[in-house]
Structure 1
């Protein structure tokens, strides 16, 4: 299933599971998502994780509320070449009334950890 977010859909992010406690997704590393060396660009890792964490935050919102990313921090631990598939799993570290904090583990198909992202989602109430 798609993310419902135009940029994430353009990148090819596919959501496999979405609940209040976990969001799983995958993304194939295409040439247009890479550095000149044919390795997935760091910004693509971050955008992939942001889509998963934001999806989790939305799952926890009250009716009428919205969310936006307030902060994001990424540790890059390994590269992913063109044609490989990234798998991501976002889980909440904190879900509160005004914000939520999500940790996303990005791995390759063999389960090797390639990046760890922690993001804070701010809750925006109507009115």
Structure 2
């Protein structure tokens, strides 16, 4: 499968890789690099919250796109809430899994859980996507 994130410039810049792209589940990975951290080196270096939000937003948006109602061409995020639960140091490979909580005719709501390789939950994001 070609990486769908390659057609979204910001997702590509961030380094998001999509492994699973289905109507009811999107899974991707993101390797934590110094360029997406709040501090570039040292023991406090960890992924920036905005990078985590970007990761989750992209996964939810790809899922919403898989569920576009007839006559709609795209979706956009209308609301997003993030709970930051743990750190992710440089070199970590994060996995995000987005699943729909509701898919309607005008709106879908997605929840994304982001974990480290050791299974530690890093963030939970809930977002709403409006169909355009």
TM-score w.r.t. the length of structure 2 is 0.91
> How far, CA to CA, are the matches of 1:122 and 1:93 in structure 2?
14
Which of 46, 68, 75 lines up with 2:83 in the alignment?
Answer: 75
> Which stretch shifts more, 31-40 or 91-100?
31-40
In the alignment, which residue of structure 1 is the partner of 2:54? 47
Aligned residues, how many?
Answer: 124
> How far, CA to CA, are the matches of 2:46 and 2:78 in structure 1?
27
Matches within 5 A, 1:5-24: 5-24=8-27
Q: After the TM superposition, which segments of 4 or more aligned residues of structure 1 sit over 2 Å from their partners?
A: none
User: Does the residue aligned with 1:110 lie in a helix, a strand or coil?
Assistant: coil
> How far, CA to CA, are the matches of 1:20 and 1:110 in structure 2?
27
List alignment gaps of at least 5 residues for structure 1. Answer: none
User: Does the residue aligned with 1:122 lie in a helix, a strand or coil?
Assistant: strand
Per-residue deviation at 1:63?
4.3
User: Does the residue aligned with 2:82 lie in a helix, a strand or coil?
Assistant: strand
List alignment gaps of at least 5 residues for structure 2. Answer: none
Cα deviation, 1:96-127, whole Å, max 9, x if unaligned, reads: 00000000000001211110000000011xxx
User: Does the residue aligned with 2:12 lie in a helix, a strand or coil?
Assistant: helix
- Is it true that 1:59 corresponds to 2:66 in the alignment? yes
> How far, CA to CA, are the matches of 1:2 and 1:122 in structure 2?
20
Per-residue deviation at 1:38?
1.3
TM-score w.r.t. the length of structure 1 is 0.94
RMSD: 0.9
> How far, CA to CA, are the matches of 2:25 and 2:4 in structure 1?
16
